[in-house]
Amino acid sequence: LCVLDLTARRPLQLILPASLQHLNTLRTLLLRRWKLCGDISIIGRLSNLEIQSLFGCAMAELPMALVKLSELRFLELSGCKGLSKSYTEVLARLMTLELKEIHGPHAQMKALEGDEEYYD
């Protein structure tokens, strides 16, 4: 399995199953429009993940475990709700990202380096 698209048509609660960590070949994970409940740091165990979309998700924080994803190239946080400002610390440590797509109230925060574009 290379791509897992779990896009919700309307916001529903989602608890990521522990079995997700066994998807060793997963390269793209699309978790769009979910109310992410519980511990989502399990995403950090998907060692081959290159593309992660959390578009429109509601979550308390971006897990620090994402920094373990050495293959991650694209991270989308557009439309995320409830994220604390500490998510910028996680983003700053994601050195392999080629593109960070962030829209919303925190998009213009001066916490990241590089040529990324941010939209408000």
Q: Which domain holds residue 74?
A: 3-101
Write the DSSP string, 9-30.
SS-EEEE--GGGGG-TT--EEE
What is the identity of the amino acid at 112? L
pLDDT of residue 104: 57
Residue 112 counted as domain residue: no
Closest among 30, 37, 38 to 7, alpha carbons compared:
30
Residue 53 counted as domain residue: yes
CATH number at residue 25: 3.80.10.10
Residue 80 counted as domain residue: yes
Residue 87 counted as domain residue: yes
pLDDT in tens, the chain (120 residues): 899 999 999 989 999 999 999 999 999 999 999 999 989 999 999 999 999 999 999 999 999 999 999 999 999 999 998 888 888 899 889 988 987 777 654 543 433 444 444 433
pTM here is 0.82
Residue 39 counted as domain residue: yes
How are strands ordered across the β-sheet holding 3-5?
3-5, 28-30, 51-53, 74-76, 99-101
Residue 109 counted as domain residue: no
